[in-house]
Amino acid sequence: MNRKILDLAIPNIISSISVPLIGIVDMALMGRMPSADYIGGVALGSLILNFIYWGFGFLRFGTSGFTSQSLGRRDIEGSFHVLIRAVALGLISGVILIILNQPISWAGFKLLSGEPNVVNFAEVYFVIKIWAAPASLVQFAMFGWFIGMQNSRIPMIVAVTANVVNVLCSVLFVAFLKLDIRGVALGYVVGQYTGLVMAIFFYFRHFNKLGKYWNLKESLNRLKMKEFMNMNMDIFIRTMCLIFVFSFFTAVSASSDLRTNGKETVLAVNSILMQFFMFFSFVIDGFAQAAEAMAGRFIGARDSSKLKKLIRISFYWGSGCSLIFTITYLLAGENIIRLLTNNTNIISNAKPYFYWISIIPIVSFSAFLWDGIYIGATAGKAMRNSMLISSIAVFFPAYYILQVYIGNHGLWLAFILFMISRTITLWAMAPKAIFQTIKYQDSGEVRKIL
């Protein structure tokens, strides 16, 4: 099973690593602009886009869970219909987002506090980048389906190629064509449409035979769509809570509440330090996606013994990975920051927070792995409840209590407590949300997995 986990995890890790590299390159390019407002503009513009793209994350998560379970039941036709449902929903949603980009931009930035120059940069960044929405959302659906079909190599090839194109175009547009923040936004759009074309190409190359199951009426069956959307609504609520925590983190960083040497400095410092967490999260998410694909297949096949073995081995890999990141951040944190910006004021203000960044991998890796297992089990309600508890009952109270006494350190500590809470609640809910449902299936009782 170790080999199977690595066969799925390594391509996921490679493709996932390429995602934060975009953010790192964007920060590095904007970090060399004459003002920290450029970094703030990317951070605030990404804030609105994260609400949108992460909110539609269910297109990948739900698609993967339903697909892997269909595969475990040897229902290939059913897995094909899952793909059509997800792609149709992603394409329609992406077009709607483009049509509504102006009111979304206006409403989003009205709710955010920031200096006028920062907001102006953020609006330019958002209006350009939203044109990638159809390509991004359809890719969410297709990546989830590929992973559910136990193929993580195609998403790896597509994601890495698209992100390399993104980075190269961003560097070209910013460094050579002098398009500043417009360049990094336009680079993303080019990269996403490149990825969509490649994903479609690989589908027809490897799965073209599934076209014999084409039946639009069956794919968009009202009851099947309702089942798909009900489960995904729980994941949507869970994801929106997660987005709200990250968005609140950025919005508070841009406010005057945590002022040290100016709120622009706090925003720039926290935005750069958050790249450390994002980089780790995308690496550990490679193992989570492997667990997701395999857990769904074992649950579909009603094989509880292999599921338990999968969970045990996944946590061995996760703990080792988190330890490596913690040691790396402790020893090389300042050097990593210097790769992102040459602004000495930002670097000096970031140093007091290195220790928070260093312990985040240790306290958060379990939450990522459990997320993958819950997604494979399509246990949306439990994921939703865990996130509601961790955000509403832990993160926000902790922030409002701690920031009064320790300022920006309180924000980082509240974030760490949030990740610890997610781990504890997901551990506690697993027996009922995952293992008990397999027992019901094994006994022959008709029961859907949460």
More confident residue, 267 or 100: 100
CA 380 to each of CA 237, 242, 286: distance values in angstroms, whole numbers, following the listed order: 9, 14, 20
295 and 372 Cβ atoms separated by less than 8 Å: yes
More confident residue, 347 or 315: 315
Q: How many Å apart are CA 361 and CA 281, to the nearest integer?
A: 8
Structure confidence by residue, pLDDT tens digits, 49-61:
877 887 788 888 8
Mean pLDDT of the chain: 84
Q: Determine the pLDDT at residue 71.
A: 85
Structure confidence by residue, pLDDT tens digits, 35-82:
777 887 887 887 788 778 877 888 888 888 889 888 888 888 888 988
* In-domain check, residue 281: yes
Name the pLDDT band for 437 (thresholds 50, 70, 90). low
Q: Indicate the range of 232-236, 261-265, 304-308 predicted with least confidence.
A: 261-265
More confident residue, 356 or 444: 356
Give mean pLDDT, residues 357-377: 92
Count: domains in the chain: 1
Q: Determine the pLDDT at residue 262.
A: 52
Q: How many Å apart are CA 240 and CA 218, to the nearest integer?
A: 30
Q: Determine the pLDDT at residue 257.
A: 55
* C-alpha radius of gyration, the chain, whole number: 21
Q: Determine the pLDDT at residue 450.
A: 28
* In-domain check, residue 400: yes
Q: Determine the pLDDT at residue 411.
A: 92
Please say if the pLDDT value at position 444 is more than 50.
no
Task: Kindly report the length of the chain.
Answer: 450
Q: Concatenated DSSP letters for 230-247?
A: HHHHHHHHHHHHHHHHHH
In terms of residue numbers, what domain contains 344?
A: 2-442
CA 351 to each of CA 258, 413, 450: distance values in angstroms, whole numbers, following the listed order: 16, 16, 45
CA–chain centroid gap for 19, Å, is: 9
* In-domain check, residue 448: no
Q: Determine the pLDDT at residue 446.
A: 30
Q: Determine the pLDDT at residue 445.
A: 34
More confident residue, 263 or 360: 360
Q: How many Å apart are CA 389 and CA 316, to the nearest integer?
A: 27
Structure confidence by residue, pLDDT tens digits, 113-149:
667 788 888 888 889 999 999 999 999 999 999 998 9
CA angle 347, 242, 354 (to 5 degrees): 20
Q: Determine the pLDDT at residue 385.
A: 95
Give mean pLDDT, residues 311-334: 91
Please say if the pLDDT value at position 435 is more than 80.
no
φ, ψ for residue 32, nearest 5 deg: -105, 10
Give mean pLDDT, residues 230-239: 84
* In-domain check, residue 447: no
Q: Determine the pLDDT at residue 443.
A: 41
Type of residue found at 136 = S
pTM, 2 dp: 0.77
Give mean pLDDT, residues 331-352: 80
Name the token pair of 342.
Answer: 């040459």
* In-domain check, residue 450: no
Q: Determine the pLDDT at residue 198.
A: 96
Q: Determine the pLDDT at residue 221.
A: 77
Highest mean pLDDT of the ranges 45-49, 239-243, 320-324, 435-439:
320-324
Give mean pLDDT, residues 342-366: 86
Q: Determine the pLDDT at residue 355.
A: 85
| DSSP label at residue 407 | T
Name the pLDDT band for 398 (thresholds 50, 70, 90). very high
* In-domain check, residue 372: yes
Q: Indicate the range of 205-214, 312-321, 332-341 predicted with least confidence.
A: 332-341
Highest mean pLDDT of the ranges 120-124, 166-170, 246-250, 387-391:
387-391
In the chain, the percentage of residues whose pLDDT exceeds 90 is 34
Task: Provide the 10 A C-beta neighbour count for residue 62.
Answer: 30
* In-domain check, residue 309: yes
More confident residue, 314 or 43: 314
Name the token pair of 100.
Answer: 């509504």
Sign of CA dihedral 189, 192, 196, 197: positive
Q: How many Å apart are CA 156 and CA 111, to the nearest integer?
A: 36
| End-to-end CA gap in the chain | 26
In the chain, the percentage of residues whose pLDDT exceeds 70 is 92
* In-domain check, residue 6: yes
